[in-house]
Chains A and B, each alone.
Chain A
């Protein structure tokens, strides 16, 4: 009888690596900048919430954060994937939510963009009204695809479409307020399909990334 306690399983899995087909060409490479002192600062780097919560503002580089897992790493912006576990109080300028990725939970906020929303909604209505009006029958195809495009565009701009219980991938910057780290979202994508291909793809890059740092 093998005695497995919850802490044990990770220890047993030292050599647990799943995917063996490594395609170098398709490996995700985050952008990086090198400062005058020769320090590398990453952008768009996939991270775990646990590590974002543990990161510290970097004293030498404004806007950058430092974390230690397993080695020191500096970054400006990051990518996270998770489950929307709750909703905060929305206000005029932000939509507030809580994200959970199985390693921690972090508050995140999405800037409301009322101007952009309004413009896109107006354009959407305009395109919609073109469909079916008799004299513009020749534009029907174009206006149909325009409505579809603009409808999709609203999803990416309007932070109110996120609801607790959905899955999102966020691109954003950590925000340090009274020693509490939260995430300011620059852009987001919802992933509520049954296939969860986005989650799998994200985890792949994340695991690759952490493992490449380990060496």
Chain B
């Protein structure tokens, strides 16, 4: 009787790539915008609550101040903002969206090249894959990372938007639910 041969575990780097999040995880504008390491940015679907800000040429979603957050993490409303792609008043799902309105935006997080508009967008996973193709030495990788961080900004590719009134209340409860899921 021969023993069944057990294949040695394959050390596949693809296993370590970020997995696509296939539900709309509730994230904060701050988490996405202030993340210094682009490899750590959320990959996949998400829902973000914020204040809509219309500036010439494009739209942004501003953060909303969360009253009960520890003061080290607390930012005033509108301190940081996330770039919105694929959004305009015409394709917004609720007709009443206007500058300064609070809303929930659902969609996918991408890395958008802000220096060359209309160039293809990148994702966190795409970035990981590009890094894997480079030498192990680390030097090339850090140059690539630096370059991407200079040219790209995290952005939300919007699929659905809806207007809400009690943004603070909703954000707080969503955060508390995330703590429950930990």
Residues of A within 8 A of B (CB): 1-6, 9-18, 48-50, 83, 85, 100-105, 165, 194-197, 199-200, 203-204, 206-207, 210-211
In the complex, which residues of chain A have a beta carbon less than 8 angstroms from the beta carbon of B172? 18
A194 touches B25 (CB 8 A): no
Residues of B within 8 A of A (CB): 22-28, 30-31, 34-37, 40-42, 47, 68-70, 72-73, 93, 106, 160, 162-166, 169-170, 172-182
> Given contacts A3-B36, A5-B40, A194-B165, is CB(A16)–CB(B180) below 8 Å?
no
Give bound CA distance, A131 to B146, whole Å: 72
Chain A residue nearest in CB terms to B24:
A100
B68 touches A18 (CB 8 A): yes
B180 touches A207 (CB 8 A): yes
> Given contacts A165-B93, A194-B163, A200-B169, is CB(A4)–CB(B24) below 8 Å?
no
Give bound CA distance, A210 to B179, whole Å: 11
Give bound CA distance, A35 to B179, whole Å: 32
Chain A residue nearest in CB terms to B182:
A10
A4 touches B173 (CB 8 A): no
> Given contacts A6-B27, A12-B73, A83-B47, is CB(A195)–CB(B165) below 8 Å?
yes
In the complex, which residues of chain B have a beta carbon less than 8 angstroms from the beta carbon of A104? 23
A205 to B: closest C-beta gap in Å: 11
Give bound CA distance, A100 to B25, whole Å: 9
B35 touches A196 (CB 8 A): no
User: 11 pairs across A/B with beta carbons < 8 Å?
Assistant: A1-B36, A4-B31, A10-B178, A13-B69, A16-B70, A16-B176, A17-B68, A83-B106, A100-B24, A101-B23, A105-B23
A5 touches B35 (CB 8 A): yes
B95 to A: closest C-beta gap in Å: 12
B28 touches A210 (CB 8 A): no
